[in-house]
Amino acid sequence: MEPLKIVVTGPVGAGKSTLIRTLSETEVVDTDALTSENIGKETTTVAMDYGTLHLGDQLLYLFGTPGQDRFDFMWDVLSDGALGLLMLIRGDKPEDFVAARKQLDYITSRHPVPYVMGVTRQDRPPVWGPEEVAPFFGLPLQRVVGINATDPQSAATPLIRLLELMLEDQRAV
């Protein structure tokens, strides 16, 4: 069976690599480079993160994109043909929301890919919750999920939501 691909995107430091490490069964292939900007961490993804998840007889690839918009070409490369897009944002970092909105608009207006948004750090208040994030991004509430990227069950919920919404859209056709 042909493997399917989920793309995890979002601004720098949203927890993309963390979420993929939490979900992946295999050791995650990362492409970290030392940062030269002040982004609150030592290294940053420059090409992709890559992890895998076997679900029954179906192999799922998890691809994480770089966060900075100078790497927008990688958003295109990785989103092409994806089963779904998971956009992560840090709920306690509203200063990144505008960049995140740009990124989400860019990808979803260019690639016909079903998406959900995961709002991380729900375990660390004060934090924006899904019901507050959704109107800012102009998204229906069911497309926004609050998560904690280090917890496996929590990290899996946006994927579950993504598939549920896909099935629902299918039925609506």
Partner 1 sequence: MTKQEQLQEILRELKQALPELRSIVVASTDGLPIVHAAVDAPRVAAMAATALGLGKRISQTTELGSLEETIVRGNQGYFVVYAAGDKGVLAVSAPADANLGLIHLEARSFAGRLAQIL
Partner 2 sequence: MAIFGNLNHMSLSDLLPFLSSQQGALEIFNLERHPGVTMYFNEGMLTCLYLGNKEADALLARSIVGEILGARKGAFEFLPQARPRRCSQLLNMRVDRLLVSVTTTQDEFAQVREQLPHPKTVFKIAGQTAPQDSRISDFWQKARSHLQAGASSEQLAGDLGMPLDHVRFYLHRLRQLRAVEPVRARPKTVPASGSAASRLLGALKRRFFGTNKEKVWSH
List contacts with partner 2 (CB under 8 A).
Answer: 4, 55-56, 58, 60, 69, 72, 83, 98-99, 102-103, 105-106, 108-115, 138, 142, 152-153, 156-157, 159-161, 163-164, 166-167, 169-170, 173
150 binds, among partner 2, partner 1, none (CB under 5 to 8 A by kind): none
SS (H, E, C) 100-117: HHHHHHHHHHHCCCCEEE
Residue where the block lists tokens 């090409």? 47
Using the contact rule CB under 8 A, the part of the chain among 70-78, 118-126, 144-152, 155-163 near partner 1 is 70-78
Residue 169 buriedness (CB in 10 A; 0-12 / 13-18 / 19+): exposed
Residue 73 as a binder of partner 1 (CB under 8 A): the answer is yes
Give me the sheet containing 115-120, strands edge to edge: 49-55, 58-64, 4-9, 84-90, 115-120, 144-146
32 binds, among partner 2, partner 1, none (CB under 5 to 8 A by kind): partner 1
Helices (H) and strands (E) in the chain — how many of each?
A: 5, 8
Q: Which helix (H) or strand (E) holds 157?
A: helix 152-172
Residue 33 as a binder of partner 1 (CB under 8 A): the answer is yes
Q: Are 44 and 55 in contact (CB under 8 A)?
A: no
34 binds, among partner 2, partner 1, none (CB under 5 to 8 A by kind): partner 1
At 35, the amino acid letter reads: T
Residue 68 as a binder of partner 1 (CB under 8 A): the answer is yes
Using the contact rule CB under 8 A, the part of the chain among 41-49, 56-64, 108-116, 123-131 near partner 1 is 41-49
Residue 71 as a binder of partner 1 (CB under 8 A): the answer is yes
Residue 12 buriedness (CB in 10 A; 0-12 / 13-18 / 19+): buried
Site residues (CB under 8 A) for partner 1, limited to 45-64: 46-48
- The residues of the shown chain that bind partner 1, judged by CB under 8 A, are 29-37, 44, 46-48, 66, 68, 70-71, 73-74
